[in-house]
Every structure is written in structure tokens, then in C-alpha cells.
Amino acid sequence: MAENGLKTFSMHSSDDKYERTVATISGELADADRSLPAELAPENQDPETVARRYLNQMIASPAVPSLTAAPAETATYYQTVATEAVPLTGTKVVKFAQYLHHIPVYGSLITIELDDDNSLLSVNSALGEPEKVDPVASVSPARAKEVIAEDGGAFSPPAELPRLYYYFDDRKRRGTWRLVYIAKNVRREAAGNGAASSMPQLFDYVIDAHGKGELIARLPRSQSVTWRPEELETADALGKPRHIRAEHNESGKHRLSDTVRHVQTHNFNFRDIARGDGILPGDIVVNPPKPWDTGAISAHANAEEVVDFLFQELHRNGLDNLGSPVVSSINCTFRNANPANKEWRNAAWIGTQMVYGQRMVNGKLRSYAVAKDVVAHEIIHGLTDHTARLEYRRESGALNESYSDILGIIISNRHLPDIGDWNWELGEDLDGTGVPIRDLSDPTLHGQPAHMDDFRQLNPGEVPSDANDHGFVHVNSGIHNKAAHNLITSKASTGKFLFTPHEVAALFYLALSQRLTRTSGFSASRRGVVLSALTLFRNDPQATRTKKLAAIAKAFDDVGITA
């Protein structure tokens, strides 16, 4: 059992190990369909119905013991949470969450992938066994809200009310399942550990639904932009010419609103987010007055590149895949006791938008929006929020950070078709020194481990908090980053790179958006990448596919991330 309390299972029809099992399941379903009219054949039904039938068949079949039906008294069932067409692979994915006594099991997920004819392509599952847990809460939702308020958490619309879940409490070595209330996206006003936080703080609160209503966990959700469209050329904060999309009106006034990709950039005018977050995002940036705020141009152009990448490379319409605006605010401060000091050395995705601080470089303020890789990193946190929603603590938090690093590096090097020319450093444009904050090619250069042997653990009895970076998420992410670097730079015997930039972007995106759940760790990511590769390369020649799968396995093996 993993440290998140979930048992995992995966299989793919292209994997020799499971080819016969998938054929058995499909054959059993075909046998059951022989008496049905042609219009009820799987290829003529909707994906959700077919996926549900495959799931039921796997639960009933001895061919898939990992999904064998649980005893009837456990009252386990699986509820559909999403059905999605995946243009990258030409497949359809149906996701189910596990419920017990009508209560969801936190972090559970079954993903069933169907080919274009609705045949079974792959299955990936993470399921819990919260046995001997009383499903009837003895603590009221009102008391749960009181516990949150006592901890400094402030409910404000549209924050959700606390909801019951089965949750694996990992504070002790063996861990235990509990019935809990979880309240999502609660703003916490109180500072932790006797010191002010460095950015606005949103949390999912976990409160025991039994006993005295103990606060079990605080799971961070803040991770450290009549008019007509027009295309413009202008300089950013680094003096580089940038091509942007904006809007203009009859009087010749422009504003930073991209109606093609729904990107908007605002100026918060150095106000304090802690005191005035209710009026975010601030005023949309306009011209005149001239010249443009170059920090705003950096934020706008970089956000447009991220959203263009999602649309053009991954066939995704914005962070939520529904085209909702990507909003940025420049010139932000946070917990600023001295308004004359306009520095706030940070940038963050705060649940609904980007906020950018600034620092002095050679006597002038430089926006943190200048670094394309950092901008991409933070906006990808928004993508993670809309897909796997990886918990921002311990190993899942390190994975959350790593996926932002990986896709951030891919986006910032997108203009270089030769992977051999890529820059693997992150954040070297943030100040005047040119010193990066991370390096995917060698994490140890900046204090990160590059192998699971050096995974940094919390001390016995220590819990994730601001003081230990929520379980060293920015430290341990280096291990998964190194695995990604190994994969991306894998070469064939001819010396040519095995994967194209598009393929590596697709692999990690598909794993993040289709295979991972809230409490997934590094091994789950490896499984997700392998399953995504089996689907993505299913029509490649056998020899080519074998080489690619072997390279993926070696990339993770070399950093100690086992299957």
C-alpha cells in the first residue's frame, strides 16, 4: 500500500503482460452482448455507458483480481466524475471516483480509456479500503466551520461548505483511514509558525468528523493575466521585442486583453494583496498613458505563450479546457508594512489568477513576470488545479512542483526544435545575477536531490508546514525533474533524440490530466507516463515503441523511482 493509503493497478492493451487480460474482458463483454440488437453494441453506445460496462465486467471477472468486487456490506460503488475526448491520442477517457456508504474516498480514481471504436485500451486505478470507519459523523458541519475559524480560516463566497470524505491520515507511520470534513479553498488569515507568510494562502481544511473535531490537515492550495482585437509589437521588461494580442477602440486606446486566447493583464498599483485581495485583479493595463508598463508586457506576452502552447500543442482550451480567462496582476505587494517599499519578491498562482511582485535590479524595479519559465511554471499550477489537483505537501506536493518545472521548461524552450539546444535552468531572469533557482539537468547544483536515496524526509513527529516547505516540496521535486530530463534527452543508438518536443509535452500532460489523482506520488507518475506512452505510440512500429518504453523505464530507474 502506498503512503496515501491507496492500492494501485494499471493495465494497457498494448502491454504484452496484459494483452490477454484485456482480450478476456472484451470477450466476456462480447459474450454478454450476443443477444442484444446491433444498436446496443459497444461501438454504437456513448463512452460513459461502455466504460461503466467494462468496469462492471472487470469487477465481476476473475481475470482482474485487483478490481474484484468487495463484500456487499461495504456498500462500495463508483460514480462517474468526467468523460473527456483526448484529441492528442484520438481516445476517450472516463473517470470514476470510489464511494463507500455514499461518501467519496479522497484521492480515489479509476480511469478507463477507450479507443475510437470504444474498445478497451487501458485501465488505471487508485482505490482505498477504509474499513471499520463509522460512516456517521458525530461532529456537525457547523463545528467543522468553527474549527476552521479558530485556526484563522475565513470562509467567503464561493468557498464550499465542509463535505464528508474518507481520508487517509498519514501523520503517523502506518497511517489510518478517518471520516472527515473537507472544506475547499479557504483563505487563512493567521500566519503560521510565528511568522508572516510570503504569499496569499488558500487551504483545503481537513477536520475529523468524530471525537472533538480535530484539525487533521491544512492542505495548501496557493502555489509559489466596444473593443476590437489587434496584434502589436512592443518591448518587454528585459528589452526584448514581443508580439502580443490586445484590443483597441476608435480613439486609439489599447488595453491588454487578448480575446483570441482569453488572456487579461491588470495593474494592482503596488497595493497590498493581504489587505485588498477583494479588489483583485485591479485595473486592466491600457495605453495611453504611454509608454506601456514593460512588466505588464512581459506578463501578458508570457501568459499568451503558455495558453498558445496549451491550445496548439495539447489541444486544450485554456486551463479549465473551457476557455475561461487567464488573469494576471502585476505590481503586487503582500503584507507590506511600509507602502514606500514596493518590493515583493515573489510570483504565485493563487487559485484563480496570477500575481506578480517585483524587486530592485540596478536601481529599478523589475517584475517577476519577466521570466517566461517562471510564468509558465506558475500558470501550470493552475492547470494542475483543474486536472489532478495534486496535494501541495510531501511527495504529491513535490510532484506538483515538478510538473510545473517540466512543462515550464518545455514551454520556455518551445522556440528551439532541437532538444540539444534547450536551456534547463529555471528563473535565471528573475534578478540581475543570472543565477537560476533550479536546474533540471543537475538538481544538485541548487541543493536538490537527484535520486530517491536522498529523498528528504520529515523528522519523526514533524508535520508538513510553512516552516519545512510543506514536506520539502521544492527540494524533493528535483528527483522527478531529473527523471524527466533523462526521458526528454534519451537518445537512440544513432545518437538522435528518441522523442520530439511535442511527444514529451504530450506524455507529461496526458499523465497529469488523465492518470494522476490528488495524492499521487512519483511511482504513480511513472505509471501514468508509461500508460500515456502505450496509448500515444500504439500505432508506431513495434521496434520504435519498444525503444521508447525502454527509455522511459530507464529514465525513472536511474533516479530510483520504481514501477
Boundary residue ending a domain (195, 220, 245): 220
Three-state SS for 11? strand
Cα–Cα distance list, 38 to 24, 29, 43, 52, 56 (Å): 21, 14, 9, 19, 21
Q: Which amino acid is at 449?
A: P
**In a shared domain, residues 461 and 357:** no
Secondary structure, 3-state, 67-99: HCCCCHHHCEEEEEEEEEEECCCCEEEEEEEEE
Measured CA angle at 530 (ends 529, 536), to 5 deg? 85
Distance CA 130, CA 138 (A): 17
- Report the candidate in 224, 244, 248 with the shortest Cα–Cα distance to residue 234: 244
Please check whether residue 18 lies inside any domain of the structure: yes
Q: Which of 325, 254, 257 is nearest to 290 (CA)?
A: 254
555 and 410 housed in the same domain: yes
Same domain, yes or no: 401 and 549:
yes
- Domain harbouring 349, CATH code: 3.10.170.10
Same domain, residue pair 395 and 336: no
User: Is residue 136 included in any domain, yes or no?
Assistant: no
Question: Is there a single domain that holds both residue 427 and residue 551?
Answer: yes
Question: 30-39 in b/e burial notation, b at 16+ Cβ within 10 A?
Answer: eeeeeeeeee
pLDDT of residue 393: 93
C-alpha separations of 195 from 89, 335, 466, 467 in Å: 48, 11, 9, 9
Task: Look at residue 247 and tell me if it is in a domain.
Answer: yes
- Provide the β-strand partners of residue 284: 266
From CA 2, how far away is CA 156, in angstroms rounded? Answer: 35
- What's the confidence (pLDDT) of residue 198? 55
Same structural domain, 66 and 119: yes
pLDDT, position 196? 47
Query: What's the grid cell of residue 296?
Result: 505588464
Per-residue pLDDT of the chain (563 residues; tens, 9 = 90+): 467 889 998 999 988 888 888 888 877 777 666 665 555 566 667 899 999 988 988 888 777 877 765 544 457 889 999 899 999 999 999 999 999 999 999 999 999 999 988 899 999 999 998 888 999 999 999 899 889 888 877 665 445 678 999 999 988 777 899 999 999 888 776 544 434 455 567 888 999 999 999 999 988 876 653 566 788 889 888 889 998 989 887 778 899 998 888 899 999 999 888 875 558 899 999 998 888 999 999 999 999 999 999 999 999 999 999 888 899 999 999 887 677 789 898 888 888 899 999 988 888 899 999 999 999 999 999 999 999 999 999 999 999 999 999 999 999 999 999 999 999 999 888 766 777 889 999 999 999 999 999 999 999 889 898 899 999 999 999 999 999 999 999 999 999 999 999 999 999 999 999 999 999 999 999 999 999 999 999 999 999 999 999 999 999 999 999 98
Same domain? For 254 and 353 the reply is yes
Tell whether 99 and 172 lie within a shared domain: no
Tell me the C-alpha distance between 19 and 11, whole Å: 8
Q: Are 354 and 327 in contact (CB under 8 A)?
A: yes
Euclidean distance between CA atoms 121 and 431, whole angstroms: 48
Last residue of a domain, one of 102, 128, 154: 128
Does residue 381 form part of some domain? no
The pLDDT assigned to 280 comes to 87
Give a yes or no: residue 241 inside a domain. Answer: yes
Judgement on whether residues 559 and 420 belong to the same structural domain of the protein: yes
Residue 326 lies in a domain: yes
pLDDT at 313: 94
pLDDT score for 194: 39
How much is the pTM?
0.85
Task: Give the closest residue to 379 by CA, choosing from 485, 263, 272.
Answer: 263
- Tell me the three cell numbers of residue 404: 510545473
Q: Are residues 202 and 247 in the same domain?
A: no
Distance CA 371, CA 369 (A): 6
- The residue out of 205, 220, 235 marking a domain boundary is 220
> Are residues 413 and 475 located together in one domain of the fold?
yes
Q: Please indicate, yes or no, if residue 191 is contained in any of the structural domains.
A: yes
Asked if 486 and 355 sit in the same domain, the reply is no
Number of domains in the chain: 4
d(CA 204, CA 10): 29
Helix, strand, coil share (%) of the chain residues, nearest 5: 35, 25, 40
Q: With respect to residue 382, please indicate whether it lies within any of the assigned structural domains.
A: no
**Catalytic positions, written as ranges:** 378, 474
In whole angstroms, what is the distance from residue 278 CA to residue 98 CA? 36
The whole domain housing 121 covers 6-128
Q: Which of 265, 225, 215, 241 is nearest to 382 (CA)?
A: 225
Q: What is the dihedral of CA 323, 281, 392, 358, to 10 degrees?
A: 120
